[in-house]
Amino acid sequence: MAAVKETIEAVAALEKYEHGFTSDIDTEYAPKGLSADIVRFISEKKGEPEWMLEWRLAAYERWLAMEEPTWAAVKYEPVDYQDLFYYAAPKQKEGPKSLDEVDPELLAVYEKLGIPLKEQAVLAGVEGAPRYAVDAVFDSVSVVTTFKAELAKVGVIFMPISEALREHPELVRKYLGSVVPVSDNYFAALNSAVFSDGSFVYIPPGVRCPMELSTYFRINASNTGQFERTLIIADKGSYVSYLEGCTAPMRDENQLHAAVVEIVALDDAEVKYSTVQNWYPGDPATGKGGIYNFVTKRADCRGDRSKVSWTQVETGSAITWKYPSCILKGEESSGEFYSIAITNGRQQADTGTKMIHLGKNSRSRIIAKAVSAGKSDSTYRGLVSVHPKATGVRNFTQCDSLLIGKECGSHTVPYIEARNGSAQLEHEATTTRLSDDQLFYAQQRGLSQEEAVALLVNGFVRDVLQELPMEFAVEAQKLVAISLEGSVG
């Protein structure tokens, strides 16, 4: 299989963190620190309507009154929220209309990252150009969104959320904060106050989105928080597959990334949301630097028979705090969570999902695979909750942990609340160590130690990789190999 071959080549050829470069882009900053004035500054920069500013200010007030959560199994130096830039934007002409108007320096960054922004190349049928639409978010702003026109032909709206606030304020106002309320948690409140960009997706009734949509997040500026906001609305009977990717330069200081993703699925709608998260994980030996990834992702399966599927491959970040969840309101709605969390060096991950069953006969499925190496620590934290009125609920949960070496940790913390006797909930969990027998067997057949680890780990996470769109599965497979380089001594 080509993918495995590529995995192995990737191991051999690549540096430990290949996206660690910094780009020298002329950048405009808001003054450092956070205040109501900074919130106003961001809102004004974006040319937002008055109601949006008030919404942000209310969120800011709520945030001031909240305390940073400490229940996750992660340890880190407190974040100094006044020592961050909340807005950093590459200087360029106001809202480039086409790719030609985008700063070539910026395009070069994305080219280096392997992100296809050359819509023309794809349209012209250039060989090998992947056919999916990209919204490229650089620090605080979206720099370009491809295929907008082609998507508009079928009524699909795919644009930066800042633009959607101007062009489709009624849709944004109706749904923004309806899944993750501003006061949901500390980081969600912070995001609501200062988010600067992100993607907005609307799929009209009955439309099957003709291509994969993706947003690619890049943090470049130093001392800058990235607060993106993504809102996806799948109207009745529609379908969309969406992918998010992220990278950041190697820096000694920690950087904060506090995103909010809201998904609304109406009757018979289906949304597949995939993430390949590869933020800079910090120095593997000292733990210095790296991204704090404090993210709130939630889907509201509002409609009957609606379906949302989260797939995540988490390989980066110094600290991950993330629980993509589904509120299963609709009857026979279904939620899925497929996760691969790989930690190495000094990384810490506390991640999992919440499946809140409110609708009758709603179903959920959770497959979580944790791979821990080095001195890292990984926790699966999940909640399956069944409302008293939700009859016929089914859930299946499987949590598997693979330990590489003797200094890492892995924990599984499942919460189950069944308030209806008809619920059928299954939970399976395993913890295994990468076996010497398997390693030797693979080496005896000709694989080097690192190739053997990559192959075995890819086998361990295969169930989840299969849930990713194909191009990204290959990408993720490579990432698995790279993330575990040097994990066996």
Partner 1 sequence: MLSISNLHVSVGDKPILKGLTLDVPAGEVHAIMGPNGAGKSTLGYALSGRPGYEATDGAVAWKGEDLLALEPAERAAKGVFLSFQYPIEIPGVPALTFVRTALNAQKRARGEDEVSAPAFLKMVKAASAALKMDFDMLKRPLNVGFSGGEKKRMEILQMALLEPSLLILDETDSGLDIDALRIVADGVNALRSPDRAMLVITHYQRLLDYIKPDRVHVLAAGRIVASGGPELALQLEAEGYDKYLPQAA
Contact set with partner 1 (CB under 8 A): 1-2, 4-5, 8, 435-438, 440-449, 451, 455-456, 458-463
Q: Whole-number minimum distance, CB 396 to partner 1, in Å?
A: 19
Q: Give the rounded distance of the alpha carbon of 254 from its chain centre.
A: 18
Choose between 137 and 455: whose C-beta lies nearer to partner 1: 455
Choose between 262 and 475: whose C-beta lies nearer to partner 1: 475
Q: Whole-number minimum distance, CB 152 to partner 1, in Å?
A: 39
Q: Whole-number minimum distance, CB 340 to partner 1, in Å?
A: 12
Q: Whole-number minimum distance, CB 243 to partner 1, in Å?
A: 23
Contact 450, 7 (CB under 8 A): no
Choose between 278 and 477: whose C-beta lies nearer to partner 1: 477
Choose between 431 and 449: whose C-beta lies nearer to partner 1: 449
Q: Whole-number minimum distance, CB 468 to partner 1, in Å?
A: 15
Q: Whole-number minimum distance, CB 277 to partner 1, in Å?
A: 21
Give the H or E element holding residue 116: none
Helices and strands counted in the chain (H then E): 13, 24
Choose between 268 and 451: whose C-beta lies nearer to partner 1: 451
Choose between 419 and 462: whose C-beta lies nearer to partner 1: 462
Question: Residue 302: which of 242, 359, 254 has the closest Cα?
Answer: 359
Question: Which tokens hold the place of 344?
Answer: 């190495």
Q: Given the DSSP bridges, would you call strands 319-322 and 290-301 parallel, antiparallel or unpaired?
A: parallel
Q: Whole-number minimum distance, CB 335 to partner 1, in Å?
A: 24
Contact 476, 308 (CB under 8 A): no
What Å distances lie between residue 94 and 13, 91, 137, CA to CA?
Answer: 40, 9, 15
- The Cα–Cα gap between 179 and 199 comes to 16
Contact 480, 461 (CB under 8 A): yes
Give the H or E element holding residue 394: strand 394-403
- CA angle (385 as vertex; 383, 390 as ends), nearest 5: 160
325 phi/psi in degrees, rounded to 5: -125, 165
SS3 call for 436: helix
> How many other C-beta atoms lie within 10 A of the C-beta of residue 93?
9
- The Cα–Cα gap between 366 and 427 comes to 9
Q: Whole-number minimum distance, CB 457 to partner 1, in Å?
A: 9
Choose between 8 and 106: whose C-beta lies nearer to partner 1: 8
Contact 104, 96 (CB under 8 A): no
Choose between 82 and 444: whose C-beta lies nearer to partner 1: 444
